Amino acid sequence: MRLTEIRIAGFGGQGVILSAVVLGKAASIYEDGFATMTQNFGPEARGGACSAQLVVSDSPVLYPYVTQPDIMVIMSQEAYNRFATELKPGGLLIIEEDLVRVSNLNRDKKVYSIPATRFAEELGKKMVLNSVMVGFFTAVTKLLSADAVRKAVADSVPPSFRELNLKAFDKGYEYGLTAKVGAPPELEEVGYAQE
């Protein structure tokens, strides 16, 4: 894996930090790469702004902070409004399609969307939406192997929730395998170019 800067953002309670931990663990432990993670969150326990910055590479990471993300995973409108402009030209944007409305985005960005919260609710617990997003991320980016990320998910959640989180990962991964690059419906209506 080449050096890749990733920002994951949303609000407290969505599992933003855990998502970054899982992906960093997959890169550094299960794929013998390197990863650094920094996090930022508001004072609220739930509902406040939250973000994690992850740098993964196949060689030691010399600078641990994200300067211009190659990939962004956005799970709330507030996070989109705050961070979307930082995405690198040609970067990849992954959004929670029921919570994020994309606007004013340069057309050189690749956009993937998933109804992760809805999928998590269908599985019985809204709190596993982060595992759905991690599975989707794994499928659409192909940055890390599905096996490595799946092991990291299993290793990062309490045993009583392991099976549910693995089902959530699989749901997101399967959805990602069929995902197409393009814009959410609201941008398609205004002529956003699809690939």
Residue 103 forms part of a structural domain? yes
**Total count of domains within the chain:** 1
Nearest-CA neighbor of 38 among 11, 68, 8, 14?
8
DSSP 3-state assignment of 112? strand
Residue 28 forms part of a structural domain? yes
- Asked if the model's pLDDT at residue 51 lies above 50, the reply is yes
- Model pLDDT, residue 191: 33
pLDDT in tens, 102-152: 987 878 899 999 999 999 999 999 999 999 999 999 999 999 999 999 999
Residue 32 forms part of a structural domain? yes
Residue 62 forms part of a structural domain? yes
Residue 157 forms part of a structural domain? yes
CATH number of the domain at 137, please.
3.40.920.10
pLDDT in tens, 8-36: 999 888 999 999 999 999 999 999 899 99
Residue 48 forms part of a structural domain? yes
Tokens encoding 57: 């590479």
Where in the sequence is the domain holding 54, given as residue range(s)? 4-188
C-beta atoms surrounding 138 within 10 Å? 27
Residue 193 forms part of a structural domain? no
Residue 195 forms part of a structural domain? no
Helix (H) or strand (E) holding 146: helix 146-156
pLDDT in tens, 147-195: 999 999 999 999 999 999 999 999 999 999 998 766 444 444 333 333 3
pLDDT in tens, 59-81: 999 998 999 999 999 999 999 99
